[in-house]
Amino acid sequence: MTSLDDLPIRADLRGLSPYGAPQLEVPVRLNTNENSYPVPDVVAETIGRAIAAELRNLNRYPDRDAVALRGDLAAYLGHGLTRDQVWAANGSNEVQQQLLQVFGGPGRTAFGFTPAYSMHPLLALGTGTRWVPARRGADFGLTVGEAVAQVREHRPDVVFLCSPNNPTGTALDPAVVAAVLAEAPGMVVVDEAYAEFARAGAVSALSLLPGHPRLVVTRTMSKAFGFAGGRLGYLAADPAVVAAVQLVRLPYHLSALTQAAARAALVHRDALLGTVSAIKVQRDRIVSELRSRGHRVADSDANFVLFRVGGDQRVAWQVLLDAGVLVRDVGLPGWLRVTAGTPAETDAFLLALEKLSS
Ligand code: PMP
């Protein structure tokens, strides 16, 4: 049998394994920050009709520029955005890959404050962009001073900020985003995959877009919209940025079925986003319950919670799995991350967690 090592793959990819959380069949899956609520029937029916209407046209390529969908996404975002300021792709992972293809690449650097979303360095790797891991302060916080000093030192071509941050859950102080934007010589990408779950007072970087053509905000329908399987991510930025990513996007990257499904889902955005407040209740319940049990817990503006287990998190992860609850080991010694889902899932998680102390 031919192994990977027998193939003439790039030297920088040798010895690596593909990214991905374990997809295990267990009763309670709280490891990938999905929305636990299924798509409501009325929405599924609308999506089904929209897809059916496309089927006989599948002999034709889709709208290469996804113009109608981008208009719908701009209307959803508000902030006076128009479709020429929005771009869409198969998940925000693909959007960010396109950004690195056009603004990163060989000889260029991308930079992010670790721990943050682990795909950012992997997208850098795949696009031949050098990754510079910057540091966070105590308790995973990030002050204006710490952020600006590191941007000044490394002068990266692309800065990734993640707000609310994965895996910590905490939204960035808007002053940090503004200060990084002022200091960075290149593009600043604010990954707002979890924006809809933020606590009151959090400010989206969308409000900074006017007058900042090097700022990009990425969003996704995978989390709050409960549309992870539909694969739809998008960005908002200056129209010049949208023109720039079109230099590297594959022609017809977004299928007619995806475009139709996403547009139908957006028609029902109130029904889909109706789960957000219920999920936030569970998120806040997990935070307060874990704190009352003596765990250290990061503040969460997302649909997940990072908590300290003490001792080896790999052991704790297995104990929870044996109790039927799958959470995420993000590789932070002593910490685990759990997705907030339904009340029953929270019950199961909190019960399983009791096994840790017994
Ligand atoms: N950004 C962050 C911070 C994420 O956690 C995720 C999903 N885990 C993504 C982006 C990518 O989501 P998608 O490609 O499904 O839009």
pLDDT at 358: 55
The whole-number average pLDDT for the span 111-127 is 96
Residue of the nearest CA to atom 4 in ligand 1? 193
pLDDT at 239: 98
287 Cα to the center of ligand 1, angstroms: 22
93 Cα to the center of ligand 1, angstroms: 6
Q: Where are the domains of the chain?
A: 18-38+273-357, 41-267
Q: To test ligand 1's pocket by mutation, which of 31, 220, 339 has the most ligand atoms within 8 angstroms of CB?
A: 220
ipTM: 0.99
Calculate what percentage of the chain has a pLDDT beyond 70. Answer: 100
Tell me whether residue 169 is exposed, middle or buried, using C-beta atoms within 10 angstroms of its C-beta: 0 to 12, 13 to 18, 19 or more: buried
**Quick check: CB of 112 below 6 Å from ligand 1?**
no
Compute φ and ψ for 213, nearest 5 degrees.
-70, -10
159 and 188 Cβ atoms separated by less than 8 Å: yes
Q: How far is it, in rounded angstroms, from Cα 288 to Cα 276?
A: 18
Residue with tokens 């690449």: 105
7 pLDDT more than 70: yes
145 Cα to the center of ligand 1, angstroms: 27
Q: How far is it, in rounded angstroms, from Cα 33 to Cα 302?
A: 9
Mean of the per-residue pLDDT values of the chain: 96
Residue with tokens 């096994």: 355
**How confident is residue 356, by pLDDT bands cut at 50, 70 and 90?**
confident
151 pLDDT more than 60: yes
Three-state DSSP at 218 gives strand
160 and 191 Cβ atoms separated by less than 8 Å: yes
The whole-number average pLDDT for the span 200-218 is 95
CA distance to 95, 238, 248, 250, 348, per residue, from 242 (Å):
11, 7, 11, 14, 44
* CATH number for the domain formed by residue range(s) 18-38+273-357: 3.90.1150.10
**Quick check: CB of 319 below 6 Å from ligand 1?**
no
Angle between the N-to-C axes of helices 343-357 and 313-322, in degrees from 0 to 180, rounded to the nearest 10: 120
Residue of the nearest CA to atom 6 in ligand 1? 193
The whole-number average pLDDT for the span 297-326 is 95
20 pLDDT more than 90: no
339 Cα to the center of ligand 1, angstroms: 13
Q: How far is it, in rounded angstroms, from Cα 70 to Cα 72?
A: 5
Beta strand extents in 181-303 (DSSP E only): 187-191, 215-220, 233-237
Residue 269, amino acid: R
Nearest-atom index, ligand 1, CA of 232: 16
Q: How far is it, in rounded angstroms, from Cα 32 to Cα 19?
A: 13
pLDDT at 309: 94
pLDDT at 138: 80
**How confident is residue 23, by pLDDT bands cut at 50, 70 and 90?**
confident
pLDDT at 310: 81
The whole-number average pLDDT for the span 191-207 is 95
305 and 283 Cβ atoms separated by less than 8 Å: yes
Q: How far is it, in rounded angstroms, from Cα 32 to Cα 37?
A: 14
The whole-number average pLDDT for the span 10-22 is 87
CATH class for the domain made up of 41-267 = alpha beta
For 225-263, write each residue's pLDDT tens digit: 999 999 999 999 999 999 999 999 999 999 999 999 999
- For 145-180, the DSSP string reads HHHHHHHHHH--SEEEEESS-TTT-PPPPHHHHHHH
The whole-number average pLDDT for the span 181-197 is 98
pLDDT at 24: 86
For 32-80, write each residue's pLDDT tens digit: 999 999 999 999 999 999 999 999 999 999 999 999 999 999 999 999 9
Question: Pairing mode, if any, of strands 109-114 and 130-135?
Answer: parallel
The whole-number average pLDDT for the span 253-277 is 96
